[in-house]
């Protein structure tokens, strides 16, 4: 599949390749692309870092592209502390979940907007939950938060478990990993001021993501662990 010239891109990950090159994973509106960057120790190499908006020309028709041209396309997003960890988490999620060369322009736009929000110091948890939810939905793994697997409205006093391949199922016996209806309805409205909504959303997204991550933990999650 030929790629349009000079498309917007972000670096998700880069590693040394052969003597002077780098193997770079890019996020573009056309999907996740892997490409060889020649002379990575020169000027181009200084641009090949995360959170820098780029314009990149990709060459080649195979799965492994070559970077023909790469230029800065705006102001770099400076992230520090937990905002930096959050950005690295987003990058790892995209590398693990986004299929190669599968166009998802909405994911690209939401990623760029989330980086800006992180740089502005907005609360991290709502941003991360929103990104996870939008990513799952755009990849076709989303599910309703205000109705159950039978199409019935979520009951505020109900208890629910997540059936990853179907949605939320009401249950009547206590068991680990359940969600109450008020939490789910708050999530559906993105009402993060509701008691327990953010912590429940974190648990829900972990359950939803786990099956698609193939049982392999995310390295970037370890950055958030307190010593």
In this predicted structure, which of 17-31, 105-119, 196-210 has the lowest mean pLDDT? 17-31
Tell me which of 72, 94, 114 is where a domain ends.
72
Concatenating the DSSP letter of every residue in 111-129 gives: HHHHHHHHHTT--HHHHHH
Query: Mind listing the pLDDT tens digit for each residue in 120-173?
Result: 999 999 999 999 999 999 999 999 999 999 999 999 999 999 998 899 999 999
Report the alpha-carbon distance of residue 66 to residue 60 in Å, rounded.
Answer: 6
Mean pLDDT of the chain: 90
Q: What is the CATH number for 193?
A: 1.20.1440.120
Bridge partners, residue 179, by sequence: 160
Question: What is the biggest distance separating any 2 CA atoms in the chain, rounded to whole angstroms?
Answer: 62
CB 201 within 8 A of CB 184: no
For 58-79, b/e burial (b = at least 16 CB within 10 A) is: beeeeeebebeebeebeeebeb
Total domains in the fold of the chain: 2
The pTM for the full model equals 0.90
Q: What is the CATH number for 35?
A: 2.40.50.140
**3 confidence band (pLDDT: 50, 70, 90):** very low
Domain that holds residue 211: 143-217
């Amino acid at each position: 599949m030929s790629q349009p010239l000079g498309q917007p891109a972000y670096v998700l990950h880069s590693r040394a390749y052969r003597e002077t090159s780098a193997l770079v994973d890019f996020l573009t509106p056309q999907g996740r692309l892997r490409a060889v960057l020649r002379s990575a120790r020169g000027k181009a190499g200084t641009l090949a870092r995360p959170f820098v908006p780029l314009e990149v020309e990709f060459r080649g028709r195979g799965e492994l592209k070559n970077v023909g041209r790469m230029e800065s396309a705006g102001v770099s997003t400076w992230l520090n502390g937990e905002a930096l960890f959050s950005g690295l988490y987003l990058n790892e999620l995209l590398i693990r979940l986004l299929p190669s060369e599968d166009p998802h322009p909405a994911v690209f736009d939401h990623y760029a907007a989330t980086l800006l929000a992180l740089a502005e110091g907005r609360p991290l948890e709502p941003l991360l939950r929103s990104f996870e939810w939008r990513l799952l939905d755009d990849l076709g793994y989303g599910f309703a938060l205000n109705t159950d697997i039978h199409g019935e409205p979520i009951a505020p006093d109900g208890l629910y478990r997540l059936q990853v391949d179907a949605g939320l199922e009401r249950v009547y016996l206590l068991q680990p990993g359940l969600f109450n209806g008020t939490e789910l309805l708050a999530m559906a409205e993105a009402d993060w001021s509701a008691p327990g909504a953010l912590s429940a959303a974190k648990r829900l997204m972990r359950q939803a993501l786990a099956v698609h991550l193939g049982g392999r933990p995310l390295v970037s999650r370890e950055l958030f662990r307190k010593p």
